[in-house]
A and B are shown apart, each in its own frame.
Chain A
Amino acid sequence: MQVPAPFDYERATSVDHVLTLLAERPGDARIVAGGHSLLPMMKLRLAQPEMLIDINDLTDLDYIRVDGDEIAIGAMTRHAGLLSSALLGEHYRIFRDAERVIADPIVRNRGTIGGSLCQADPSEDLSAVASALRATVVIQSATGRRTVDARDFHQGPYETAVGDAEMLVEVRVPIRPGAGSAYEKVERRAGDWAVASAGAFVQLDGDTIKDVGLGLTAVGAPHFTCVEAEEALRGQAASAENVAAAAQLCHDACQPQADQRGPEDYKRHLARELSRRVLTTSIARARGEQS
């Protein structure tokens, strides 16, 4: 069996403790939550941090709650918690749709929203969800908290806005009354990373699209989204034709790379097909036509 190289281990007792440890070992320390992305990379010795800071004791970061006009999700919230949350289910079906197809139930017991976003895999599903919902990410450092738009959070494959001495502590999603949302993924097999995925929310004003968000993963979409498609839909009729036109913009804007999950043209096709589907479902849900 593959095994990681040696490292020091500290179990953090608080966010401040994490930040102190990070400051003591700049560049050498990595935070570990679920560990299901980081540890395989360490076993392959592709990652060799000199210190791991275990934040699994920070259970006060495991929450999903309404905070003003937003839903606040703590960084230590597990995938299983996102899947089973009645609050999220009430406001954003996109979470349930996505979580049902993220990894497998056992991995979902361990993996966290913070870990998933910070891993910043270009095929990560929650990154597309966060981007679709135009969520914000709260990052804490010794000097305080700052908030970053989810769409600015990822700065490239496996790179995020979180600095060496910082920690992601919360994800915030604006509450949009009446919004419908959906997520759809094509995978080669249950539990696989996405060949391509799309997520969306739609808010209607009568038959007009009042607001819309799109998220795309694994297709090389800048910032996990397609703003051209969003702009094309906003203020327009929620019609099949408009949705199809927007989906075509997703197809045109993404820059997928071929891998064993599929060639470039297929992924581009999926960007269109899946964005069309999630927009259609989101509209139907906003209208109350579909559960």
Chain B
Amino acid sequence: MNISLPQPTITPISQPFWDYIQEKKFYLQCCQDCHKWVFYPRAHCPDCFGSDLKWQAASGNGKLTTWSVVHRAGHPAWQERAPYVVGIVELEEGPSLLTHLLIDEQDLYYQLPVEINFQSINGFLLPFFQEKGVRV
């Protein structure tokens, strides 16, 4: 059985996010009313409920708040790549996202500075993260 890695299920709201990612650009929505950054993409700001969201370049930097070395994947296609590391990155801009980490298990620690690293899965770029300033 050949099961491929699951790709993002893109919506009209999130399309710009993925379009920028394919250009190796990391853009997030920023609320023009309360000036908070928004992730994941929405039609409104989840903080002030304003509707004036603008796509702006984000730093791609953040800190690692938690991680897991996955030995038994929840998806059969990912099981072929186990063990691998996923984690949650708190971005410099405020929001947190879940991502795949290109970091060895022994180098992981709480609040580790990380940066974006675009990786191609089935020809589609995804925002993975790596340890900041380290050649992967």
A-B complex is real: no
Hey, which bits of chain A sit against chain B, CB under 8 A?
A: none
